[in-house]
Structure 1
């Protein structure tokens, strides 16, 4: 399983990343309404993706199966296509973030129970909570840190 750092974000790559994001969100973020997903889509594609260092893992068809976005001190995003989940992509990304990039913090939607359980399983601990997300929407965010 090879992690590839994206050096250039073409429209094709942005579109492929957005498909992974949307499919993953639809399968895990059941607390979001359709209008929430539509609100976030252009922000994710046009603002959030360019603001982070993006890493991908491709499947056997050379399509992006999972991606991770890192800032200077946080694992900002980690999304896996629903049909590719359970193959260890998340674990590989978290290990890479911690051991190669010295990034120990991540935020997770409190209502995304699968992601929350995943990060706890990976050794993270809750260090804080906000009632709303960074957009001011009423989706509680848990702040986690790996020891």
Structure 2
């Protein structure tokens, strides 16, 4: 398993990973919201620079999107969850930035627990997601406080 930047050729596989992971972990989304988010993801995700965890055959099995120190997205092929890939991705991110932040859907207890096991602490909560939908977010941080 290694980590590399995404390429245009990875786009379809990244969307496939996202869909599988969301169906496995985001059962709190309404069908209408899921359809709307899916359409947005299919449009922007293949064009977004990502870090990929890839198999020995260079097949993407997970991806992480970051904006500086913020983990914007971390999704793992659901057939490989629990195998240390998420830990590998977070440990890689920690080599890039001394402090990391992430916003996690409150209803996704597995993800909240994962980030807590990775050393993140809760720093706040929002009643809605970034698009104003009724999916509360837990704000988390790992490492020193981040300025600005």
TM-score by length of 2: 0.88
Q: CA deviation at 1:35?
A: 1.9
CA 102–5 in structure 1, closer or farther in 2 if over 3 Å, else same? farther
Residues 122-141 of structure 1: per-residue CA shift (max 9 Å, x gap): 11001011000011100000
The answer for the alignment partner of 1:68 in structure 2 is 64
Residues 3-26 of structure 1: per-residue CA shift (max 9 Å, x gap): 0112x324xx22211110011011
The answer for the alignment partner of 2:41 in structure 1 is 44
Q: CA deviation at 1:103?
A: 4.8
Distance in 1 separating the partners of 2:74 and 2:125? 19
Q: Unaligned 5+ residue runs, structure 2?
A: 144-148
Q: Unaligned 5+ residue runs, structure 1?
A: none
Aligned-residue Cα RMSD (Å) equals 1.7
Of 94, 107, 113, which aligns to 2:103? 107
> Are 1:77 and 2:76 counterparts?
no
* Matched-pair contact (CA < 8 Å) for 1:123–1:146: yes
* Matched-pair contact (CA < 8 Å) for 1:58–1:65: yes
- How many residue pairs get aligned? The number is 143
The answer for the alignment partner of 1:28 in structure 2 is 25
The answer for the alignment partner of 2:3 in structure 1 is 3
Point out 4+ residue stretches in structure 1 off by more than 6 angstroms.
Answer: none
TM-score by length of 1: 0.89
